[in-house]
Chains A and B, each alone.
Chain A
Amino acid sequence: MDQKVIENGEYLIVQKVDGEQIRVMRFTPKQKILIEKLKFDADNAFGKPYGLFEIVGGDCIPMTAQKLRDEIEEQDAALSVMSKKEDLTTGDSVDSSCEEKPSERVVIAPSALKLEPEQKRQKLVQDEVLEMKKQGTTGNELVAKLVEGSASFNTRTTYSQSKYIKRKSKKHSDRVLILRPTIRLLAKSYYMKDPDRIAMLRNDQLGLILQMAGIHHSKNVIVFEQNLGLITSAIIERLGGKGACIHIHRGAIAQSIPCVHSMNYDEQTLSTFLPVRIGCVLAGKQLPYDNQRKNGTDEEDLDVRAADVKELTAEEEEALVRRNDRLAKEKLAMDLIENGQTHSLIIGSRTIDPINVLEQFYHKLAPASTIVIYSPHLNVLVESYEWLVKNYAINLNITNQMCRVLQVLPDRTHPLMSQHIAGGHILSAIKVLSAENSS
Chain B
Amino acid sequence: MPVQQAISVDEKDTASFLKYDDRIQEGDTVIVYVTYGQTLSIIVKRGQTCMMKYGALRHEFIIGKRYGCRLSATAGYVYILRPSSELWTRSLPRRTQILYTADCAVILQLLDCKPGSVICESGTGSGSLSHAIAMSIAPNGHLYTHDIDETRTKKVEQEFREHGLSEITTPVVQNVCTDGFFVTNSCDGVFLDVPAPWEAIKHAANAISRSRGGRLVSFSPCIEQVQRACLAMRKCGFIQIETIEVVPTTYKIVSQHRQTLADFEEAGDAYPKTEDSRRKRKLDAENGESLSCQAPIRKGTSIVFPYQQPTHTGYLTHATLMPETPDL
Binding site for B on A (CB under 8 A): 2, 4, 17, 48-52, 61-69, 72-73, 76, 100, 177, 182-184, 187, 203-204, 206-208, 210-212, 214, 216-220, 237-241, 343, 366-370, 378-379, 381-383, 385-386, 389-390, 394-406, 408-410, 413, 415, 425, 430-435, 437-438
B126 to chain A, nearest CB (A): 17
Asked if B300 and A216 sit within 8 Å, CB to CB, the answer is: no
Asked if A238 and B115 sit within 8 Å, CB to CB, the answer is: yes
Given A207-B106, A382-B302, A367 contacting B68 (CB threshold 8 A): yes
Asked if B67 and A206 sit within 8 Å, CB to CB, the answer is: no
- Whole-angstrom CA separation of A435 from B140 in the bound complex: 40
| Cross-chain contact of B253 among A4, A212, A398, A434 (Cβ < 8 A) | A398
| Cross-chain contact of B105 among A204, A382, A390, A425 (Cβ < 8 A) | A204
Binding site for A on B (CB under 8 A): 18, 20, 22, 33, 36, 65-71, 77, 79-82, 84-86, 101-102, 104-106, 108-110, 112, 114-116, 132, 135-136, 138-140, 211-213, 223, 226-227, 230-231, 234-237, 239-253, 289, 291-292, 300-302, 315, 317, 321-328
- Whole-angstrom CA separation of A409 from B224 in the bound complex: 10
| Chain A: CB-nearest residue to B249 | A400
- Whole-angstrom CA separation of A220 from B115 in the bound complex: 15
Which residues on A sit within 8 Å (CB–CB) of B108?
A: 207, 210-211
| Chain A: CB-nearest residue to B318 | A184
| Cross-chain contact of A433 among B33, B66, B234, B323 (Cβ < 8 A) | B66
| Cross-chain contact of A386 among B84, B231, B243, B253 (Cβ < 8 A) | B253
Asked if A408 and B230 sit within 8 Å, CB to CB, the answer is: yes
Asked if A100 and B323 sit within 8 Å, CB to CB, the answer is: no
Which residues on B sit within 8 Å (CB–CB) of A238?
A: 114-115, 136
Asked if B321 and A65 sit within 8 Å, CB to CB, the answer is: yes
B201 to chain A, nearest CB (A): 12
Choose among A50, A67, A240, A383 the residue with the greatest number of B CB atoms under 10 Å from its CB: A240
Which residues on A sit within 8 Å (CB–CB) of B251?
A: 378, 398-400, 425
Q: How many A-B residue pairs have CB under 8 A?
A: 236
| Cross-chain contact of A72 among B234, B244, B300 (Cβ < 8 A) | B234
- Whole-angstrom CA separation of A87 from B101 in the bound complex: 49
A-B contact pairs, 14 of them (CB 8 A): A17-B239, A65-B213, A72-B234, A72-B237, A100-B231, A183-B112, A203-B109, A208-B101, A212-B86, A240-B114, A382-B253, A383-B300, A397-B36, A433-B68
| Chain B: CB-nearest residue to A18 | B240
- Whole-angstrom CA separation of A327 from B92 in the bound complex: 44
- Whole-angstrom CA separation of A253 from B140 in the bound complex: 32
B32 to chain A, nearest CB (A): 12
Which residues on A sit within 8 Å (CB–CB) of B22?
A: 366
Asked if B85 and A211 sit within 8 Å, CB to CB, the answer is: yes
Given A383-B300, A432-B69, A214 contacting B246 (CB threshold 8 A): no
Which residues on A sit within 8 Å (CB–CB) of B101?
A: 208, 211-212
Asked if A378 and B302 sit within 8 Å, CB to CB, the answer is: yes
Which residues on A sit within 8 Å (CB–CB) of B239?
A: 17, 52, 68, 177
Which residues on A sit within 8 Å (CB–CB) of B213?
A: 51, 65
Which residues on B sit within 8 Å (CB–CB) of A100?
A: 231
A-B pairs, 6 with minimum CB distance: A240-B115, A367-B68, A368-B68, A214-B84, A211-B105, A207-B109
